[in-house]
Structure 1
Amino acid sequence: MVLFLRPIFGAPLAEAVKRTALYDGIQLPAVFRECIDYIESYGMKCEGIYRVSGMKSKVDELKASYDREECPCLEEYDPHTVASLLKQYLRELPENLLGRDLAQRFEDACSRSAEADKVRMTTPG
């Protein structure tokens, strides 16, 4: 009998934490935590670490490993590939990372700031 696990990419954050957390008290999925740790160690001096894309085939390779709940050796990959993997993980989360309440608050704050800028620009100084 073959057992198929649901992929980690696209799974709700709480489920991913439950299935892959590193059990060090920090409630993050392994893919998120390992990518952040790697980028802090090896990628902070890379120009455009989150802007420059990594090699798609390598990102797909890493994604497949995490979806199988394996622990790939990120040190075998370049920082841009690991950063691209992290961005892809965040894009594929089924719910907004901030939650509906916080997302709405950010949207409200941004619109208030834009309205205030318009008032300042039209008010004679």
Structure 2
Amino acid sequence: MADKISHKSLLEQARQLEAKDDLPGAIGLYNEALSNDPLTIAAYNRLMIIYRKQKAYKKELETINKGIKSLEDNVHQTRTTWMKAHRKAAKLSQALAKSLGQIDAKGKPTNEDPVITGWKRRKAIVLKRMKTP
């Protein structure tokens, strides 16, 4: 329980530094939060905003890629772990999901997390900005 409180306070401290325009300090705390929990969506979002304001598109792109990879890896790992632990139910669920069009022929989900979808749109915008001088 103490971990979550300290993690939450870390994000609050970063927001306070950001409000005081201490962006390097805020970036450091957001990165520390991500090293503690690489699935902290709020930290990724705030870093993306800071880098966008600084027009540091390369760093924003790196943050977006890191966030997408972390979330996708987590989804894959969670799904794989559940499927191994519940083989019978997984087989039935997979057949149902396939018939409903929720997974493709390879067993990958056809829909994705809305956060990942948003970050992919943001990535396209950043790539476009990086190409135009």
What TM-score do the two structures reach when normalised by structure 2?
A: 0.29
What TM-score do the two structures reach when normalised by structure 1?
A: 0.30
Ranked by relative contact order (alpha carbons within 8 Å, sequence separation 6 or more), the top structure is 1
Larger helix fraction of residues: 2
